[in-house]
Amino acid sequence: MRTVTLPASDETLRSFRAGEMILLSGLVATARDAAHSLMLSTGNIPFDVQNVPVFYMGPSPAPPGMVIGSSGPTTSARMEPFIPEMLRFGMKIAIGKGDMSDSTRELFQKYGAVYLAATGGAGAHASTKIKSRKVIAWDYLGPEAVSILELEDFPVFVAWDLHKGSIYTGSRSR
């Protein structure tokens, strides 16, 4: 297991191997269905998609004294309609849960992007690894608003690497 500070360089992304556990530190943007729809229909991506990973997550409200509530990933397959355009805009890292289609995996390969999996069902623990949250767009969407999170040692697995490895197909790259 190793810690990766974001933004990650292309060299760092190439070093990832499917199945490897990574502790992420740095900034990520949260966006789910409604936010993706707005970003792509308006052409306004309110964060640097080339350097800030997209985390498919909608947090629950923050309990008193906490930065954020439960912060588990959402099912990434729901984002597939938006992924081709996000990759064209330069997305290099997406974080979510579950496998997606072979055609989406091929697009990640084509654009040099990696897919990281956060553990579903562990949102309460994950929230302890989030040091700050700032809503940056579409606050009226509630948990689907676009936010910037500051992570510290946030655990993820490399789901798809740049060497055609996938934890979902059992193919591991060396």
Of the candidates 21, 5, 14, 17, which has an alpha carbon nearest to the alpha carbon of residue 113?
14
DSSP assigned state of 118:
P
Cα dihedral: 166, 73, 32, 140 (round 10): -170
Catalytic site residue from 36, 92, 97, 105? 36
Q: Which residue type occupies 16?
A: F
64 CB-near residues (< 8 Å, 6+ apart): none
Instruction: Examine the residue annotation and report whether 36 is marked as an active-site residue of this protein.
Output: yes
Which parts of 4-114 fold into alpha helices (H)? 10-15, 33-42, 83-88, 102-111
| Residue numbers annotated as active site | 36
